[in-house]
Structure 1
């Protein structure tokens, strides 16, 4: 190699190294160990859709994209860009490398050049988004592909017709997110973070990926176990299905096939199963599923999935008190309020390992349930709960807050008296996203309860929304209003009480509803060097050291255990981790300090399950 070529190589290597070093976390807040060790060239590289796997023809598009923040009214894509943003982290987060806020008068733009193999272009090419907050317009090679509204549900777009010759394709995305200035579901985000309200999350915050599929392909499956009949109901949404196409469903236990059935591609298959092991927190047994579309006896498309056999139901005990039964046995549900926030990634865990860590620690602490609080996680989080054995109560993210009265005392208000009067637009946004979330999460067996509303936050038409939820998914129980305005509908009556354990009066409500304590505790302990800010941190009750915290928590669990024989079926402790200025977590926000040892907590909690 001559000197000129050597010099050229050195310059090229130097440029690549400099570009690779451009990204760094923004701001000066605390970080998790996973965030500190993040490989920004491959963030969240895992296959993102565990309930419908086609691993042969897909590409992860996470990594550095160009971004720009411009005036909201500008419809054309920017010609100049502000810099790089690390996808899939929200623009406000440290791990995005940007750390900038976005308001309702601005739009956030992304641009990336992606590579699509030419062999893919024989079928269809799909662009997938795990979640984008909130309104997202997608352009490929200058063509507008479509728009999606919804900050917590995944969506896909067929970009086949916009692809140009060759492998290189340009993807541009425009995002508008008004956060608390709009009526859309947003959970704990607020434009002015304070107290129990957190930093906004705007733009892409879950994995972006591209996939090649045949012209006829499986869009989604719906799997519902029926323990009483020993069957699994399976249906599939098949794009471009043709007359005569067949759906084949095969169930496996390890590598052994245990059941198979074939029907028309548009039919619902009732797959008979025998001698199956039921899923529970003590034994989270999962079975594999293979779904195929056949045409003329040949496989047109196929995907892998999985399922579990488990039953959640409501039934009166021998005292006439309504209880929650798992597989026809009373199981007391006890778990933390899990916000799912991260100091470095906000809504986005820094890695899949981090995402799984919270579930592992929850299990090690002796909890058997998690209430996922007004947030929806990436699909892989639910897969971890399925695999590890954690019952999940899934909240609908709240939005359009304010304007209605909160009365959390059951028995004192009439049905729907304090429901919010939302605009038709606001109602439509809520209904659309709630349906999309329920459909998206339906196949995860760990989810046993839907929670449409929390503490009157945007709560409207409670009876109607609750009844619709029950009808849309009769395989689960519905907690209509956790700690909110009670319309006496659904399966569960749920109060919030801080800091002490309490319950609804079983003499008034026990024969009609499952009785739950949807939130309590909130014991705060700030740990120096591990807080969001240096002072003015907050908890419902604060303590000076771990010993004081442990003693107070032990008392709370003892008090809680006395309520179970009286009719309490579930309780939720606030909370898994500290979040921003809240220091009432069992772990610090950066997950580096566990305030009460896991084994100590597990021993304490054992009394709750042995009654």
Structure 2
């Protein structure tokens, strides 16, 4: 082996080993922290220790020696959004785990009306020699304000970007109080929030509010290296390097030396060229990384040093020898065989429990025989990309979806996109930026795609993945305007997008095969997938799907992204379970299947000890159902046995046994107020006589904290309707006495009973076309329970009045309902309803304006265009 010079050897030691000298912040040893209950957890959760939380240096491309990790136990409290800074705190939270996570020790949702506060003590470091103290945050979701000793020192908006403050001048000698306030409306604001929602459902998951990446301090000189920007050029054999400095620049210079012995000197904040002749190229098969040492000098004397690294690689789209547009890596066609990785953890949500866990996900995916990860609508901590760089994983990096179509949301989306690209620019693993997904809040696609390409010409840009899922897309010529790729989604698929000049063809999502794995489910009653097969059939099914994929590759497909590597909450499409314990097809079989497309897939096997998982049991436990049911009737009533038997009865559609089994389990619960038990109660409560009904009805707030207020209230309403109202409104001749029903239901069931009664009353009048009674009934429902009435129902009510009523006062009520629906959700159909009501009420100009919006929102809907023309001519749009 060629001997490195002393300088290069030092760099290799610093960058390759990543064994840094640092000080862990002191932690209160008398803490009461413990992980909150969670339905399943990964093997790494038990290794989380408040004294040593994610201790690794968080920024592998900007390594310094003098730093202090501030992860650990902080104080926290939750206040109304506009309340003053609190003087008392309600408990401890383990940073950097999100408030809603089990590992935070809190596991509470943060409401859009609330503010989350953090507090801890920090000690002023030694700053002799004019040193400065920087306070770094990996990420805080979404809007953070930072205080030192009660004085505001700065703020940051954006849930996925790192940010820093120079806090030197705010520090006093000895101990200092560090406080952080966080506002995070999750899916109720203008903030890009990914797949986080306040009320989790299929394809959307539990929110992650507050600090969710490492917090740390470091001391730096008065002038220091603030960042670097590196761009490899394998054709010219050099690395473009810009060293960005903070502080004074005059009489300063920079020097960079790579582990190949080559160096470059120059001025800071200018582009330098570091020679990399005969470069060892970075690729999935040989992920070679060069170590890089960067120094800032003042009059020739070193004042600051960082350790970093880079990879030499090139990504582009060009024609292969058959004239097909393909994805080329390092001037060689490389099929991107990937998965849709969402980056969620059962106990940590957005935050992996340990760095080993973070690395495991990437290595597990590679071990399955994939060479690509599409990081789906989330940015990860810097160490995730470092592990991807080291593993040779190609990464398609999604932008985090724009929240809605408001101008403020678009501005925030674009601001954060700019920060995202700047933050992730240096990682060789990232080869593709993904702008829009399936038309979600899509706008100005061509402009933004071109902006992205101009901002970073060194990567491929996927302007719109899953265009076929965007029902409001314009004509074919603009579907992938200025994008480097044509991209469709096809479930289960596979499929192939059209061939367009200059664009490679990729399948941005496909698969989604659900294989439920008993005892390894987030919620064993609400599992979901696009299609479902038993474990025994999955290998053959997947192999046949990959054979179809291979035929599409031969026709010109350059990449495919399978949904997905790991189950996520109720979404059970993963190759592995959410707890990372079970793989549903043996990894060696997966590599062999993938070698049909990617010949080298079989060589991607993980080193011994890196990957560990059980292979899914292909036996069918349901074959024992009759025997197990007889054991129940003979007196076997162990709670877990009864619970499993209930779910088995559901799978086998033994509807006759389900009520007795579910009631037996609910009656055996020692504590119904766990997420697992409450979801069971919610699922199997069908009557006011069921044992779960009283638990839900008498403990609505407590139940709502576990499974969502809407879920609890909707369950109570549906049960009351079925038991107390349905019989009176069924059939064409039904004529209920609403006053008597009100006397019977409202005193007994309170506001949920009143709401469902009013709802039933309004629907009854619609069904009987009794418009004079319908409008007052609907108005009472909407006035009293506005927040519970969906935008869709408001729109349906308004449209029914528009089509059937001429009375001006009734039309004005419907116009108000339509306005409410638009306040909740601006979609073309609702704009059309509002416009038609305005037109019928004689407000022609305002009607035309709103109908024009409907046309622009869905250009392919000819009805909107015809309606607009009638409005412009002053013609009636109703019969």
Q: What's the TM-score once normalised by structure 2's chain length?
A: 0.63
* Displacement after TM superposition at 1:261 (Å): 1.1
What is the aligned partner in structure 2 of residue 203 from structure 1?
A: 210
What is the aligned partner in structure 1 of residue 564 from structure 2?
A: 575
Equivalences for 1:193-592 in 2 at 5 Å?
Answer: 193-253=200-260, 257=261, 259-401=262-404, 422-484=405-467, 485=473, 486-506=479-499, 509=500, 511-545=501-535, 547-592=536-581
What is the aligned partner in structure 2 of residue 73 from structure 1?
A: 82
- Aligned pair count reads 564
Separation in 1, partners of 2:124, 2:516: 49
Separation in 2, partners of 1:531, 1:217: 49
Separation in 2, partners of 1:116, 1:359: 38
Larger RCO (CA within 8 A; separation ≥ 6)? 1
Post-superposition Cα deviations, 1:368-388, rounded to whole Å, max 9, x if no partner, equal 010000000000000001101
Post-superposition Cα deviations, 1:77-122, rounded to whole Å, max 9, x if no partner, equal 2111110000000000000000000111000000000123234683
- SS of 2:370's partner is coil
Post-superposition Cα deviations, 1:143-178, rounded to whole Å, max 9, x if no partner, equal 101010000010101111100122x11100000000
What is the aligned partner in structure 2 of residue 176 from structure 1?
A: 183
Post-superposition Cα deviations, 1:307-359, rounded to whole Å, max 9, x if no partner, equal 01000011112332211100000010011100000000000000000000011
* CA contact 2:76–2:116 (8 Å) conserved in 1: yes
* CA contact 2:317–2:502 (8 Å) conserved in 1: no
Separation in 1, partners of 2:144, 2:127: 28
* Displacement after TM superposition at 1:609 (Å): 2.1
* CA contact 2:124–2:172 (8 Å) conserved in 1: no
Alignment pair present for 1:40 and 2:50: yes
Separation in 2, partners of 1:556, 1:59: 50
Q: 1:59 aligns with which of 60, 68, 71?
A: 68
* Displacement after TM superposition at 1:489 (Å): 1.7
Separation in 2, partners of 1:71, 1:80: 14
* CA contact 2:507–2:559 (8 Å) conserved in 1: yes
Stretches of 4+ aligned residues off by more than 6 angstroms: none
Separation in 2, partners of 1:224, 1:129: 25
Separation in 2, partners of 1:122, 1:588: 52
* Displacement after TM superposition at 1:551 (Å): 1.2
Separation in 2, partners of 1:92, 1:542: 30
What is the aligned partner in structure 1 of residue 122 from structure 2?
A: 114
Q: Name the one with the larger strand percent.
A: 1
Q: Name the one with the larger helix percent.
A: 2
Separation in 1, partners of 2:297, 2:125: 26
Structure 2 unaligned blocks of 5 or more: 1-26, 468-472, 474-478, 601-879
- SS of 1:219's partner is strand
Separation in 2, partners of 1:536, 1:170: 45
* Displacement after TM superposition at 1:389 (Å): 0.8
After TM superposition, the structure 1 stretch with the greater mean CA deviation from structure 2, 454-463 or 170-179, is: 454-463
Separation in 2, partners of 1:120, 1:565: 65
Q: CA RMSD in A?
A: 1.4
Separation in 2, partners of 1:120, 1:47: 24
Separation in 1, partners of 2:38, 2:591: 35
What is the aligned partner in structure 2 of residue 90 from structure 1?
A: 98
* CA contact 1:234–1:270 (8 Å) conserved in 2: yes
* Displacement after TM superposition at 1:505 (Å): 2.6
Separation in 2, partners of 1:557, 1:121: 63
Separation in 1, partners of 2:358, 2:43: 13
* Displacement after TM superposition at 1:38 (Å): 1.6
* Displacement after TM superposition at 1:544 (Å): 2.2
Alignment pair present for 1:49 and 2:38: no
Post-superposition Cα deviations, 1:61-86, rounded to whole Å, max 9, x if no partner, equal 00000000100011x32111110000
Structure 1 unaligned blocks of 5 or more: 1-14, 402-421
* CA contact 2:480–2:486 (8 Å) conserved in 1: no
Post-superposition Cα deviations, 1:546-590, rounded to whole Å, max 9, x if no partner, equal x21111111111100001111000000000100010001011001
Separation in 2, partners of 1:440, 1:280: 22
* CA contact 1:241–1:265 (8 Å) conserved in 2: no
Separation in 2, partners of 1:118, 1:199: 41
* CA contact 2:313–2:330 (8 Å) conserved in 1: yes
Q: 2:164 aligns with which of 156, 179, 183?
A: 156
What is the aligned partner in structure 2 of residue 418 from structure 1?
A: none
* C-alpha distance 121-494 of structure 1, shift in aligned 2 (>3 A): farther
* Displacement after TM superposition at 1:535 (Å): 1.0
* CA contact 1:121–1:160 (8 Å) conserved in 2: no
After TM superposition, the structure 1 stretch with the greater mean CA deviation from structure 2, 38-47 or 559-568, is: 38-47
Separation in 2, partners of 1:343, 1:580: 7
Post-superposition Cα deviations, 1:157-205, rounded to whole Å, max 9, x if no partner, equal 1111100122x11100000000110121111001111011000110000
- SS of 1:557's partner is helix
What is the aligned partner in structure 2 of residue 406 from structure 1?
A: none
